[in-house]
Amino acid sequence: MSLTTPGMAKNPLDADLSCEDDGDDVLDGMHADAAELAPITLHLTPAVCGVRLDKALSSLVTQYSRSRMQQWIEGGHVTVDGVPARAKMTAFGDETVVISPQAAPEDEAFRPEAMVLDIVHEDGAVIVINKPAGLVVHPAAGNWSGTLLNGLLHHYPPLTGVPRAGIVHRLDKDTSGLMVVAKSLTAHTDLVRQLQARTVKRQYLAMVWGTPQLNGTVDAAMARHPRDRIKMAVSESLSAKPAITHYERLAAGVIDGKAVSLMRCRLETGRTHQIRVHMQSLGFALVGDALYGKAHLMPVFGRQALHACRLGLVHPDSGEACEWMVDLPSDFAGLITRAQIDLAAVNAMNT
């Protein structure tokens, strides 16, 4: 088998061109360039005779997976002796095959996209964003575009040189509120260290079903749910990470005859779904939480009732203590009113 790739000086089999991202790598080098997408010509030999074409190609061009080869065959991006390849066809071992690699959605994920950002504060070191509910923070399966990261790259292009475009912590798609973004490597390193030292102050408002005690602390390690990989769970497994949430009941109300409570939660750690899991572990799932709540209660609110209302940290450049606060979004404010809780009193408690 011989292989030629126009525009490339080295054998493409020596390089990993798949650009798969597990979400833990820096942004540098994430994009497939023109050379990586140049056509690949294969002259098959009898060694692959009788082998299904997609399997033969993936064994010969190992930087691409078999599933990706199947996608390209089905999309008409592979030809055999000048004719588009067919799904499930068999190789005879004397054909000329031309593969025209196509950028996968994840290869295009780290691209600037114009969007309106609610910027609470910006200076030379940080951007503080008030993220709306419904906006995904970081590209991942099912959301390769239209994320906050894409908007940040458009707003401030130098973020291409900062890991994850400066994002140092995340909010769930349907959680609203404050996030800080680093504009430089120095600021990024400083903020990550503050998060690791648990000195960043993150305060949330949450509406839960039921009536928890007036205040308390949940100190319960968390890990992936053992049976449902989408979920997190309180866990004593070796892979579990420490997780601490302090909570306070601000007010009690009623929705559709069921007791609800408005909670103020402060994170000491920042695990995925931490407040949602910790409150559910106490028996008080968040209103609107489709993942951890009860299905028959979902129509009450279109998302989990969780809002990051206050953020405090030490400024990476000046060393000064900074704090930002944002009001409740209109949907959450409406939920509080519906629960017959005094919205003005709630706002007063959070000023």
Could you please report the per-residue DSSP string of 249-275?
A: EEEEEEETTEEEEEEEEEESS--TTHH
How far is CA 292 from each of CA 218, 230, 330, 343, rounded to the nearest angstrom?
17, 11, 23, 26
Is-catalytic flag, 54?
Answer: no
Contact (CB, 8 A) for 332 and 177: no
- Token reading at 242: 């420490």
- Token reading at 42: 């294969």
- Provide the β-strand partners of residue 314: 321
Distance between CA atoms of residues 152 and 142, nearest Å: 19
Contact (CB, 8 A) for 99 and 61: yes
- What single-letter DSSP state applies at residue 299? G
Distance between CA atoms of residues 297 and 129, nearest Å: 31
* Of 46, 54, 110, residue with least CA distance to 80: 54
Distance between CA atoms of residues 31 and 105, nearest Å: 11
Catalytic residue among 172, 174, 190, 289: 172
Residues 47-83 as b/e (b if ≥16 CB within 10 A, e otherwise) read ebeebbbbebbbebbebbeeebbbbbbeeebbbbeee
* Segments in 96-226 forming alpha helices (H): 148-155, 185-196
* Of 316, 323, 291, residue with least CA distance to 304: 291
Contact (CB, 8 A) for 21 and 72: no
Active site residues: 172
